[in-house]
């Protein structure tokens, strides 16, 4: 009998074509629809392999709904939405993707930073409605970017990629992280170390790049937002719960900061209603990796993992290797 493979949303056609060479493939064809739990469970009852995306929740009940499930292949770097313990208990391998989204996410981060500073979204909406205030009007006066100070919270791979781009704007670059870099590394990157409070008070743009952990939930809250400059902007493309969204709404409403740009949210796919109502906020629906070349690589690796298991091999990107006794 053909292997039955279920894909929770459309992925690039190259990857789907490879899957079809190894089994019967069913895809939720609506790229705007995140499957509900009943929908996912119904699909899993008829499936042997699952390819899921970062926004999917695959809990123990969903896993146990599929008596023949042989693999859960996630396109996420960290499969946080999957109950890995439940899968491991049934000796079902869970695979993930290596961190391939660095450059695409850094590109989007800069798109958001520029958009909120120069009020691009506000101006676009106004122009479409018939407003053209003139080439030297102060109607859409925004923030300068070139030569300003960028504060990077969490200087990992994506933070470093953002810093590289900032040098092209002649920015002064501050950073904070748990362990300070060696002096030679700081010099090479062109960055200066500050603790979090210092960074917040000195920066014109605060860029969030820390990993989500119990220690970083609401790392940026009421207290931290009050340390930012009234002319400063907050940009978050890391994980939503790092920023206290309710505190952010208050800071924006009271004009204690100039604006914010977000690609991630505390309770995705839900967005804090107050954010949607504010004109000084730019919002995108978790688009960090949504570049064609990047998504093709991510999908290809997930397919590699599925094909490996179908062919009786250990998948190359196993997240729970203990099921293989290692």
Is there a shared CATH topology between the 4-98+291-324 domain and the 102-283 domain?
yes
Q: Which CATH number fits domain 4-98+291-324: 3.20.80.10, 3.40.50.720, 3.30.2130.10, 3.10.129.10?
A: 3.40.50.720
CA atoms within 13 Å, Cβ hemisphere of 311: 13
Report residue 263 CA to chain centroid gap. 7
Distance CA 103, CA 158 (A): 7
Q: Which CATH number fits domain 102-283: 3.40.50.200, 1.20.210.10, 3.40.50.720, 3.30.1240.10?
A: 3.40.50.720
Give me the residue spans of the domains in the chain: 4-98+291-324, 102-283
Confidence (pLDDT) at 326: 65
Note the pTM of the prediction, 2 decimals: 0.90
CA distances from 207 to 65, 127, 129, 263, 321 (A): 41, 29, 32, 12, 35
Distance CA 253, CA 277 (A): 10
Confidence (pLDDT) at 135: 87
Residue (of 119, 155, 109, 124) closest to 263 by Cα position: 109
Distance CA 74, CA 301 (A): 10
Residues 6+ apart with CB under 8 A from 188: none
The residue to which tokens 């049934």 are assigned: 90
Active site (catalytic) residues = 239, 268, 286
The dihedral formed by the CA atoms of 283, 284, 285 and 289, expressed in degrees to the nearest 10: -150
Q: What is residue 115's three-state secondary structure?
A: helix
Residues of the chain with pLDDT under 50: none
Distance CA 194, CA 216 (A): 17
């Amino acid at each position: 009998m053909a292997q039955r493979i279920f894909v929770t949303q459309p992925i690039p056609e190259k990857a789907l074509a490879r899957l079809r060479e190894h089994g019967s493939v069913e895809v939720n064809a609506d790229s705007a629809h995140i499957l509900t739990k009943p929908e996912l469970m119904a699909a899993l009852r008829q499936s042997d392999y699952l390819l899921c995306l970062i926004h999917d929740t695959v809990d123990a009940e969903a896993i146990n709904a599929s008596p023949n499930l042989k693999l859960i292949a996630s396109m996420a770097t960290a499969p946080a939405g999957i109950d890995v313990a439940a899968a491991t208990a049934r000796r079902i391998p869970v695979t993930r993707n290596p961190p391939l989204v660095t450059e695409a996410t850094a590109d989007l981060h800069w798109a958001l930073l520029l958009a909120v500073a120069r009020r691009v979204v506000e101006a676009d909406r106004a122009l479409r409605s018939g407003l053209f205030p003139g080439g030297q009007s102060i109607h859409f006066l925004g923030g300068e970017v070139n030569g300003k100070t960028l504060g990077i919270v969490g200087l990992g791979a994506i933070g470093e990629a953002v810093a590289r781009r900032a040098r092209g704007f002649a920015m002064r670059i501050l950073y904070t992280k748990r362990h300070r870099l060696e002096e030679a590394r700081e010099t090479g990157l062109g960055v200066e170390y500050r603790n979090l409070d210092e960074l917040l008070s000195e920066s014109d743009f605060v860029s969030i790049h820390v990993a989500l952990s119990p220690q970083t939930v609401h790392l940026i809250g009421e207290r931290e937002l009050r340390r930012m400059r009234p002319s400063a902007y907050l940009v978050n493309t890391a994980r939503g719960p790092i920023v206290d969204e309710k505190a952010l709404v208050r800071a924006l409403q009271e004009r204690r900061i100039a604006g914010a740009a977000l690609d991630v949210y505390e309770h995705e796919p839900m967005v804090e209603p107050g954010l949607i109502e504010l004109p000084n906020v730019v919002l995108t629906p978790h688009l960090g990796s949504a570049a064609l070349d990047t998504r093709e690589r991510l999908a290809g690796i997930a397919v590699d993992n599925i094909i490996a298991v179908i062919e009786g091999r250990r998948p190359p990107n196993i997240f729970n290797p203990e099921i293989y006794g290692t």
